[in-house]
Structure 1
Amino acid sequence: MQINEQARNELLSEVNGLTAEHLNQKPSKNEWSIKEILQHLYLMEGAITESIQKQLASPEINVVKEKPIELTVNRDTKVDAPSFAVPSEDYATLDELKEKLAYTHGNLEKLVENEDKMAMKNKAFPHPVFGDMSLDQWIPFIAYHEMRHTNQIKEVKKKLGV
């Protein structure tokens, strides 16, 4: 979870102090606002945590090779968000978004604290790019995914002149 904490701190330092206007403003019609990026992040973190919990409850064993999840940070490779993690265009404040991010992060922390290390290595579920990933790789994947989108937030801020 150390990399997850680092990624979260970097994310929050990038968005702290943003006005609601900048937070909800899209750089262009086809690009996400910072609000949408943050919403995508808590939707993904929550869904991955739930998927890990479901796999831990399953008797199925699926041992897989480690994947190069650090490549997730590379923004040159585009990946469409899964339907459950596509953000809405609804207005939101930074406080609301931070609260939801804290909630999903807290659930992930509880899961990791109580994890069965062998089960985390011996169970997996698929990622759309990497294929089947072990549950223990999904935890740092969340951090790399967050780093990717922190870079996206930096790009959006630059386009908005913030």
Structure 2
Amino acid sequence: MLINDKVREDLFHEVQGLSDENLNKKPSDQEWSIKQILEHLYLMEGGIAKTIVHQLKNGETVNASSKPIEATINREIKVDAPEFSVPSDEFATLVELKEKLAATHQKLREIDNTVDEKDLDEKGFPHPIFGNISLKQWIPFVGYHEQRHILQIKEVKEKLGI
């Protein structure tokens, strides 16, 4: 979870001091607000944690080979957000978003700290680009995914003149 913890610190640093108004402002109709990016991140992290728990109980052994999940940071490659992680247009405060991000982060940390590494290695589930990823690799994937969206937050701040 080292990468995830470090990246989460970076994420919170990037949004520190933003007003709730700026947080909810979209650079354009086709782009997400920073609030929507943060919502997407907790929906993804929570969804991945839930899927890991499900796969541990019900999943088949896939013995997935190691994937270059670090490539997730590359914003040149566009990937549509899975349905479950598409954010809403509803207004939210930074305090609310940080609480939700803390809850999903804790859930993933509990999995990382309590589950046998052998089980995390053997089981997995598919990613739209990488194919089957082991449950063990899905945990740091969340950190790389967040790094990608920190870059997006920086772009949004620049476009909004923040």
TM-score range, shorter chain: over 0.9
What is the CA distance between 1:60 and its match in structure 2?
1.9
Match for residue 147 of structure 1?
A: 147
* CA deviations over 1:33-79 (Å, ceiling 9, x no partner): 00000000000000000000011112621101111100000000000
TM-score, normalised with respect to structure 1: 0.99
Match for residue 103 of structure 1?
A: 103
Distance 1:113 1:82 in 2: 27
Instruction: Report the AA paired with residue 34 of structure 1.
Output: I
Instruction: Report the AA paired with residue 18 of structure 1.
Output: L
Distance 1:132 1:61 in 2: 11
Q: 1:110 to 1:150 in 2, by over 3 A?
A: same
* RMSD of equivalent CA atoms: 0.7
Identity %: 57
Instruction: Report the AA paired with residue 116 of structure 2.
Output: D
Q: Which runs of 5+ in 1 are unaligned?
A: none
Segments of 4+ moved more than 4 angstroms: none
Report the count of equivalent residues: 162
TM-score, normalised with respect to structure 2: 0.99
* CA deviations over 1:101-142 (Å, ceiling 9, x no partner): 000001111111101110100001000110000000000100
SS of the aligned residue for 1:6 comes to helix
Distance 2:59 2:17 in 1: 46
Match for residue 117 of structure 1?
A: 117
Instruction: Report the AA paired with residue 7 of structure 1.
Output: V
Pairing 1:1-162 to 2, within 5 Å after superposition: 1-58=1-58, 60-162=60-162
Distance 2:155 2:60 in 1: 42
